[in-house]
A = this chain, B = another copy of it.
């Protein structure tokens, strides 16, 4: 240890005292006695959600009944909530729709993107990509007679130099969901476009965690979930972004009646709605969708540059805690020390990750693990404090030092990413 715990305590207090986002923490109902570092799996409950949901259930559904599709503008919610997400990801209005799961949105986006590059037979995905992204690349490829290539982002340039003219779509995430490594969206999008391919980004671990600039970077398609850094609730609807320049020609195979140009004419043949509305597909789960909308109000007036600055301060501080308090106990940081390559979580490697995370949870520190040996600590600048992280690091030190945990080599932590 190079610094005494007392020094870290003063540092945490100073950093928290100077935090311009500190008041935003009150927009979340965090349980007493819990340090919550798993908002990268499921965001906590925003204070705005319970009253909105009570009103939606009692008044809008209970009293308004079917009329609320008009009187409470339920019908407009997918695009309205999509636009609210759009403000956080650098998307001008009319390009983002909220609804369905990330998996379903990925299926539509991959199919749509591949169809825009006929004659190109390759879908590129990341072998480190979240499983659903890889499964759907394989499935869409099989349906369309394409092939999948698994290429790490760091190898993309070399790969495209050889095979770029065969690539239809490059489907990546800016964040490695295990290590928290941040890939450079700008350069990867540029490389993709230079090869004549389309860029599809999965923003599950990025939306709400860092500034994104989809329009500015010329991203073609993007998807993401509503339940991690957007704190929209368990299984909150996902979102799909399609750049406006594709709207005239873009097609999705998921032809639901909500996405018809004239849905209430109830015609026999499908005519896609103009713009992003064709991605509405079927009737959305309104309770979950309106909970997400309420949750997004936690971002009102929050500058994403401030979110990024605080997130880096938090992860940097936790890496410092790990160095000072945990290095001698066998914890090895795998999240890059370079801020430019660090998203909004810190992953530590330890052979007893499973037991340590279980033991921490019993002591009020909620984080998660990825088999076989990664402990993941997600931070969210809207509610995480430096003091939270110091508390977590200290308890982890105590737990590891005393050996008070299940030493199973691994385990299926039944949590949802």
Contacts and interface: CB of A to CB of B under 8 A. Distances in A.
A83 to B, nearest CB: 19
Interface string A2-41: 0000000000000000000000000001010010101001
14 contacts: A31-B62, A50-B58, A69-B234, A69-B416, A102-B283, A104-B254, A130-B257, A132-B282, A143-B143, A233-B287, A266-B371, A285-B287, A287-B287, A288-B288
A281 B103 contact: yes
A93 to B, nearest CB: 22
A336 to B, nearest CB: 21
Interface string A204-241: 00000000000000000000010100000111111000
A388 B104 CA distance: 41
B268 A53 contact: no
Contacts of A281: 101, 103-104
A274 interface: no
Given A58-B50, A66-B416, A107-B253, A234 B74 contact: yes
Interface stretch (A341-349, A397-405, A407-415): A407-415
The contact size tier of chain A is 35 or more
Given A57-B45, A107-B254, A288-B286, A100 B100 contact: yes
A285 to B, nearest CB: 3
A227 B416 contact: no
B101 A282 contact: yes
Contacts of A257: 103, 130-132, 135
A291 B415 CA distance: 22
A27 to B, nearest CB: 13
A267 interface: yes
A40 to B, nearest CB: 10
Interface of A: 29, 31, 34, 36, 38, 41-42, 44-45, 49-50, 53-54, 57-58, 60-63, 65-70, 74-75, 100-104, 107, 127, 130-132, 134-136, 138-140, 142-143, 150, 225, 227, 233-238, 253-258, 260, 262-270, 281-289, 291, 361, 366, 368, 370-371, 412-417
Q: Which of A49, A131, A260, A281 has the most CB of B within 10 A?
A: A131
Nearest to A142: B253
Q: Which of A38, A104, A130 has the most CB of B within 10 A?
A: A104
B283 A415 contact: no
Contact of A287 (B102, B103, B291, B366): B291
B69 A101 contact: no
Given A264-B412, A282-B104, A38 B65 contact: yes
A66 B42 contact: yes
Contacts of A57: 45, 49-50, 53, 233, 291
B266 A235 contact: no
Contacts of A265: 371, 412
A107 B270 CA distance: 14
A26 to B, nearest CB: 14
B415 A66 contact: yes
A233 B286 contact: yes
A371 B266 CA distance: 9
Nearest to A286: B234
A41 B58 contact: no
